[in-house]
């Protein structure tokens, strides 16, 4: 197996594992918003991931500050992934079901690919774009159909979340290719932690912590440990190994994977339209993963 094939295989593997970790984010957020505000959830995710990141940097001996040329990418990735995305997602899931959010989040690969083209010089083939457009069309139709033949305010929040996610994936993927995904993620969360402590304390001042249910606490733990830290490290490692635009298409599987959790834990109904659209998205992802992507200087 050539070095290129090894890189592609490892990129797909790590990207897939990261996607699985992300797939529980919507249902965990949907559960957590019953007891915590979007600001509290967002801040708690950062603080938990920041503590884990600091501990990991100490264990790996990477406590030296990154070069200044990497600082911008780390900061942008951190704000997009840890602030913009979870905050907009929590706002959206106050008004739309987790199943709805899961399918709309399927637009993430398209957003990532577009930003990668603008930012990194990656040039996907026409086959890639055709498959990507097919997946996007399926997601848009589902959002329109599930919203009673119109788009809701929740869909607006979801689109903002996608924009933040796409920027974070691209900038994080660029830096991870040089620093490594673990180091990049740890520093991003550690640098944001001091900024998140104050908002977390302020957001919790009106919460009766004694009355918060165990499922909400478990959801917060999942969002901080898995979604914000472990899954992100795996995901960025996949992007760095296999290419941002191509590996980013693995997130087209997210609607399919994320449909299962709301049905199991929240009792939400998986409609025929949701299943068909998720299936179309899965097929589009398969084509995108094997489509050619060339690099411009």
pLDDT tens digit sequence for 175-232: 888 888 788 889 999 999 999 999 999 999 988 988 999 999 999 999 999 999 999 8
Q: Report residue 241's pLDDT band, with 50, 70 and 90 as the boundaries.
A: confident
Of 113-122, 159-168, 288-297, the range with the highest mean pLDDT is 159-168
CB 132 within 8 A of CB 110: yes
Predicted local confidence at residue 135, as pLDDT: 80
- Predicted confidence at residue 56, as pLDDT, reads 92
Instruction: Give me the mean pLDDT over the 272-278 stretch.
Output: 80
Mean pLDDT calculated for residue range 159-171: 87
pLDDT in tens, 43-67: 999 999 999 999 999 998 888 888 8
Checking if the pLDDT of 297 tops 60, the result is: no
As given in the structure block, the two tokens for residue 264 are 């199991």
Band (291; pLDDT cuts 50, 70, 90): low
Q: 133: domain range?
A: 3-295
Mean residue pLDDT across the chain: 83
Is residue 93 within 8 Å of 223, Cβ to Cβ? no
pLDDT in tens, 118-164: 776 667 778 888 887 888 888 778 777 766 666 777 888 888 998 89
pLDDT at 245: 66
Residue 24 pLDDT > 60: yes
What pLDDT is stored for residue 49 in this prediction?
A: 94
- The answer to whether the pTM exceeds 0.85 is no
pLDDT of residue 111: 79
Percentage of the chain lying above the pLDDT 70 cut: 91
Tell me if 29 sits within 8 A of 220, measured CB to CB: no
Residue with tokens 């959790």: 261
Whether 296 has a pLDDT exceeding 60, the answer reads: no
Query: Among the listed ranges 25-29, 39-43, 170-174, 242-246, which one has the minimum average pLDDT value?
Result: 242-246
What is the count of structural domains for the chain?
1
Residue 6 has pLDDT above 90, yes or no: no
State residue 295's pLDDT score: 56
Tell whether the model's pLDDT for residue 238 goes beyond 60: yes
pLDDT at 246 over 90: no
């Amino acid at each position: 197996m050539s070095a290129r094939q090894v890189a592609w295989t490892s990129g797909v593997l790590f990207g897939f594992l990261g996607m699985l970790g992300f797939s529980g984010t919507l249902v965990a957020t949907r559960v957590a918003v019953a007891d915590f505000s979007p600001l509290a959830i967002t801040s708690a995710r950062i603080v938990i991931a920041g503590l884990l990141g600091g501990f990991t940097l100490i264990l790996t001996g990477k406590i030296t500050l990154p070069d200044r040329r990497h600082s911008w990418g780390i900061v942008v990735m951190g704000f997009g992934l840890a602030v913009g995305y979870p905050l907009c997602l929590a706002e959206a899931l106050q008004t739309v079901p987790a199943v709805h959010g899961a399918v709309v989040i399927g637009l993430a690969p398209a957003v990532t690919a577009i930003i990668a083209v603008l930012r990194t010089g990656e040039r996907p083939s026409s086959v890639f774009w055709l498959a990507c457009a097919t997946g996007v069309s399926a997601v848009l139709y589902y959002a329109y159909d599930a919203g009673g033949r119109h788009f809701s305010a929740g869909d607006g929040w979801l689109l903002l979340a996608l924009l933040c996610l796409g920027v974070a994936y691209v900038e994080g993927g660029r830096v991870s290719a040089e620093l490594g995904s673990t180091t990049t993620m740890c520093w991003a969360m550690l640098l944001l932690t001091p900024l998140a402590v104050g908002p977390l304390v302020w957001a919790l001042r009106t919460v009766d912590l004694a009355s918060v249910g165990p499922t909400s606490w478990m959801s917060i733990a999942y969002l901080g440990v898995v979604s914000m830290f472990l899954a992100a490290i795996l995901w960025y490692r996949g992007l760095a190994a296999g290419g941002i635009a191509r590996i980013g298409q693995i997130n087209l599987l997210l609607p399919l994977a994320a449909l299962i959790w709301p049905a199991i834990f929240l009792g939400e109904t998986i409609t025929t339209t949701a299943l068909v659209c998720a299936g179309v998205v899965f097929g589009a992802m398969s084509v995108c993963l094997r489509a050619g992507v060339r690099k411009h200087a």
